[in-house]
Amino acid sequence: MVNVGLGPVLNAGVLDDVIANSVILEVGEDQVREVRVQGAALGVQVLSTIDLSLYKLNESTNEWELQEVKEDWVVSYLLGGASQETDFSLDEGEWLFVMSSGEGVSALTNYTLNFLSDTVLDYSQATAVSGSITGNVLDDVDASFGYDELPTNATVTSITSVNGEKPLVEGEETIQGEYGTLTIFSDGSYEYEVDSSFRGPYGSEDSFTYTVTSPDGNSSSADLTIQLNILPVDNQVKIDESLVVDIVPSVVFDTTDSTIVDASGFSIANIGILGPILDAAALSGSGVMQFAVGDNQVRELTFRGDGFSLVGVDVDYDLAVYRQDESTGNFVQVHLEDNWFTAVGPLNLPVLGQGNGSLELQFGEGEYRAVLIAGDGLSVIEGTNLAITSDKLSDYDNPSTFEGSIAGKDATEDTGIVLLKVDDQIMESNGATVVQGEYGSLTINIDGTYDYTVAKPTDAGPDWVPPYGEVESFNLVTKDANGLVAVDTLNIKISTHTAVDDFNNVTVQESNVISTIKYEEEDGLFTSINNPYSKTFTVAEHDAAAPVEVEATASSLNALGSKITITYTLLNTTTNELFTESVEGGTTNASLSSSLPDLPAGDYVLTITTSRGSLQSIDFNATVIHSEDYTSTVVSAVTGSLIDGNDNDQGRDNISTLKVDGKSVFVSDPNQGAESIDIEGLYGTLTVNKNGSYSYLPNGESFGIERFTYETTSVTGDKETATLELNVGKGITASEFADIAVSSAANDSFVMGTGADTLVFDNLNGINGGNGNNGVDTWSDFSAQQGDQIDITGLLDGNQTLGNIGDYLKYESGTLW
């Protein structure tokens, strides 16, 4: 199972681990692959969860992009669990199914991803093809593509396809296109039907040109383009501006006499093991409090718990609150008040000890369950009770205040463009024009500058619904400096809040690794040194000298024997180079002391022997300044805010929850949920606090662009998403010798020193920026006179020569690109 951080785009640094623990499916051209999958987990675990993520390969960038996430897809209890059967419909391309660890997954967890069915629908070999679409080329208004600005009583007079032009006779005409038949009427209405013989290529476009003529004989033409797709296309409306409204909800009731029924006598034994996610059956018994919150409502509850203890036994009580996940039916823990209160057990008294607790929490839309649990798995004594002492319901569907405005915006992209008309209103030549929209009022000038205001109508009746999340569209007619008239659309979203992408940079300072290879041995009363003595080690690449010192002593109790000889050998098994020296001593002892000025890089075997007697001591020392390896010297966290600050998210006061990678903090409720959440990324750990602030601590081991997608939910349930992008770079300060450093996908900095240094750029599996997905680096002390060089062979395809290298690289004012 994948245990590394997953994001909206899979980074090269995580791909190997992901692909090794996932399933890739290929879908061919003009095909749709329908699969049904089910996940399962086995092993020793306590209420663990597993997420399922679905990625698709973007062939233009060669990156895997997230398409869908099933959070808490598998909920596993003590010895296992299974997900619901889940269907996916996959279009052409490569797809990646990834199961990743959620809550409580242990090292002993085994998992399976079962494909219950797999059906390939080949539309290039379709047995039958049909499809039609209707519309009106004159009247249709599209929030993305605009509309036709026409005089009264203008009509369609001719239609043109690949097969030629036809006039509309008696107000209608049928014309054969490239892939289907179009029937169009003079009032602009039309119907297009695809040919039954069509077999692709799907995504093809059948284009027609229609001519419109006014009563005075002026004509103009435009195109009608129909795209032929297997699956529906989701055309997102382009939002030009977002207006964030100020909301004050009405209070439905505020009472100390709640209708929520008390819950008594719940035991942890009722569900076996309590955890962050439970199925509905586990919370369906007695002793469970149930309550609900409607759409666009917020409920503030004050809980009171009363518990008892046995004689001489103190009992801690917890409060756990769960919300039902509509997609799975499971209940997800939204709050755990651990050790809420303690009932103290009286000593030597024939009575029960008693304790109680009080806590105020706030809840948005949903079905909830709350339980009072005796700690350590003790059964709750009869009489234990969970009750509501205060209950306040606020309704955002009937707000007492609903208003907002934006000012000083510009609806035209270029200077010199003037507005002629907005919707059906001719622009005032002097002063502003006021256009009343469906939800608000637009005050706009001829140069395109505008204000937009929305408010609850003064005469709003009981059926009025606040337009949360709605888009107000205005149709614009413009004229440029050359007299060319065009139509455009201004789209303003009425939002409770916005989410803006966030960016930050963090640099890990590094310097050369300095390794010391040292062996110290001494013969003693209870220890002895083997003869021969042998060790293996590795000397890294280096430019600075790696000196070696070898010392050894030997002795013999036999004074009548031959003289003692000590020999050491250093064999470089990489190059087969041999270093050796022998020293002859006396008949009872001998000593060796030798040194080498520099030990070349490679794998080594050190051997020390004595001809007679035993080795008494060994002292071996080597120091290597690595020329290609670096270690972190300073690793500092970077901080920021996801929702506060200039040019950041708007509507901060309307945000209820902030969610990152399946974990949430409750922004609007100071008491509910955790104070902070931790998310493990590719290159470090992100900590997000309840107030939206964050800190990110790099791991100092790998580098690149870290992305976290976060979701904010407002008090009305509206959701917005954005991405926090962190440039996790390295700042290398190298030695005075000839060193080699390698660029990462982040923006790195290098101070390489006075040696003849090399900076290497590899292809990091991407084409972004045209530099192999490397970052924008700074080498502040580059010196050609010192022999510094930049190695970009990994970015070239071998077709470069001195004559054409300028087509691939440019150098100007200290910048190479």
Task: Give 225-276 pLDDT, tens digit per residue.
Answer: 999 988 777 777 888 999 999 999 999 999 999 999 999 865 544 444 567 7
Q: In angstroms, rounded to a whole number, what is the distance separating the alpha carbons of residues 460 and 458? A: 6
Where does residue 346 rank: exposed (0-12), middle (13-18), buried (19+ CB within 10 A)? middle
pLDDT of 769 above 70: no
Q: Which two tokens stand for residue 1?
A: 């199972």
Residue 663 banded pLDDT, cuts 50, 70, 90: confident
pLDDT of 349 above 50: no
Q: In angstroms, rounded to a whole number, what is the distance separating the alpha carbons of residues 778 and 748? A: 6
Cβ-contact 294, 304 below 8 angstroms: no
In whole angstroms, how large is the CA radius of gyration of the chain?
37
pLDDT of 435 above 60: yes
- Interval 780-795 mean pLDDT: 92
Q: In angstroms, rounded to a whole number, what is the distance separating the alpha carbons of residues 308 and 185? A: 81
Residue 84's pLDDT is: 84
Winning range, highest mean pLDDT, from 64-68, 105-109, 742-746: 742-746
Stated length of the chain: 817
Q: How far out from the chain centre does Cα 66 lie?
A: 9
- The H-assigned helical ranges of 257-384 are none
pLDDT of 173 above 60: yes
Longest Cα pair distance anywhere in the chain, in angstroms?
Answer: 133
Residue 645's pLDDT is: 79
DSSP 371-418: EEEEGGGPPPPTT-EEEEEEEEEEETTS-SEEEEEEEEEES-SSTT-E
Residue 345 banded pLDDT, cuts 50, 70, 90: low
Contacts by residues 61-67 (CB-CB < 8 Å, ≥ 24 positions apart): 61/766, 61/767, 61/768, 62/765, 62/766, 62/767, 63/9, 63/10, 63/766, 64/9, 64/10, 64/15, 64/18, 64/96, 65/8, 65/9, 66/6, 66/7, 66/8, 66/9, 66/709, 67/95
Phi, psi of 270, deg, nearest 5: -65, -25
The tens digit of pLDDT for each residue in 536-561 reads 999 999 999 999 999 999 999 888 88
Cβ-contact 76, 45 below 8 angstroms: yes
Residue 817's pLDDT is: 67
Cβ-contact 35, 117 below 8 angstroms: yes
Winning range, highest mean pLDDT, from 134-143, 685-694, 799-808: 685-694
Percent of all residues in the chain with a pLDDT value above 90, rounded to a whole number: 59
Between 328 and 31, where is the model more confident? 31
Q: In angstroms, rounded to a whole number, what is the distance separating the alpha carbons of residues 281 and 330? A: 9
- Interval 593-619 mean pLDDT: 95
Percent of all residues in the chain with a pLDDT value above 70, rounded to a whole number: 90
DSSP 623-662: EEEEEEEEEEEE---EEEESS-STTS-S-GGGEEEEEETT
pTM of the model: 0.82
Residue 126 banded pLDDT, cuts 50, 70, 90: confident
pLDDT of 742 above 60: yes
pLDDT of 816 above 60: yes
The tens digit of pLDDT for each residue in 560-587 reads 889 999 999 999 999 999 999 999 999 9
Mean pLDDT (the chain) is: 87
Q: Which two tokens stand for residue 816?
A: 């190479």
Cβ-contact 376, 268 below 8 angstroms: no
Cβ-contact 38, 56 below 8 angstroms: no
Across 123-215, the runs of DSSP E, i.e. the strands, are 132-136, 155-161, 164-167, 172-176, 180-185, 189-194, 205-213
Residue 310's pLDDT is: 62
Across 471-576, the runs of DSSP E, i.e. the strands, are 471-479, 485-495, 502-522, 533-539, 548-555, 565-572
